[in-house]
Structures are given as C-alpha cells and as structure tokens.
Amino acid sequence: MRAPHSALIPAEAFHLAFDAAFAPAAAAAGLSRRGTKWKLVVAGHGLQLGFPVNRRSAGLPDVPGEFRPEIAWQGTVSYYQYASEADFQEMRALRRAVVQKVVAHAQPNRLLTVIVDGLDIPLRVQHPDVALYYFDENDAAAWGGWFGARVSAWLARFTAAPETLEAWCRRVLR
C-alpha cells in the first residue's frame, strides 16, 4: 500500500511558486501588484486579476490542490471569455497531468475519484469557477509560467472588447 501523499503545499507556498513564474510577464504586460491581486486600468475602470487557492483542499492527503483565475472589471469577467481554443486544450492537458500525478502517488479515495471523473467537465466561459489543479511547487510554477506566457495576449483581447461575464452571457447565450 502506498503511503498517503498530499499536495503538501499550503496556499502561501502555491502563490510563491506561481508568482515567481507569473510576475515578470505580468509586470511586462503593465499589471501592477497590490496585495494578492494584479491591477490595470482598462477603459477607465480597474481590472483586478487574482489566482485564489481553495484553502480547504490545500494540503489534503491524496487529492490535488485547487485554484482558479478570478477577474473583476465592473463585475465578474471569466478568464475563458478571452481564451483561445489552444488555451483551452493546454489547460485541460495541464489539469489532467496534475491529476494523473496525484493518482500515481495517492491512495484511492472517494474525493479523488470524483476529481478524476470531473476532468471531462469542459472549461467554459459561463463557468469561471471550475478548479484548476496543482500538486506541488513544480505544478504551481508551471501554471504561473503558463498564465504568464499568455497574459499579454489575453489583456490585448480583453482591452480590445472589454465586457463582464454577465454582458457576455446576455449577448451569447440568449
């Protein structure tokens, strides 16, 4: 039987590893750091970007840690509103790779089974709260690098046509 394994890293360690990879690209894209949020003025209104961790899952034995991109600009904005199809595919692959790493090290458990089954739930614009997963500092740094490599392009798409998630839903999901 395998020994219990966990994400082992608390939220603070996740953010240290994530931010080390994300911060240079965020700063180069014009974002400034204030506390746990990255900020920029877009169309006269403040944009706030953060990556909160689900503290209830951080460090639990045999399950991945969870986080998500959280964006506010005159209301909620879904990161996925301005993501490309290639971004979606890469995010799904990163989520799956982390969960497979956890499965390889973990003892079987009900919560992990639910997470594995949920990997097929697609990332969608109208569901910005779907968890992204990490297991260790390497995963946190990989996610920080991934978001960092895309932050300039994401901001360019957003600033070209900024809208809240509510406005997007009214426009697209009528």
- Mean pLDDT of all residues in 161-174: 94
Q: What is the mean pLDDT of the chain?
A: 90
- Which ranges constitute the DSSP H helices of the chain? 11-28, 85-105, 110-118, 137-160, 165-172
* pLDDT tens-digit map of 22-50: 999 999 999 999 988 999 999 999 999 99
Highest mean pLDDT among 8-12, 22-26, 128-132: 22-26
- Mean pLDDT of all residues in 89-93: 94
- Mean pLDDT of all residues in 58-70: 85
Q: Would you state the structure tokens that stand for residue 73, as one six-digit string?
A: 């600009």
Q: What pLDDT is recorded for position 4?
A: 45
Q: What pLDDT is recorded for position 3?
A: 44
Query: Rounded to an integer, what is the distance from CA 16 to the centroid of its chain?
Result: 15
* pLDDT more than 70, % of the chain: 94
Supply the pTM of this predicted model: 0.90
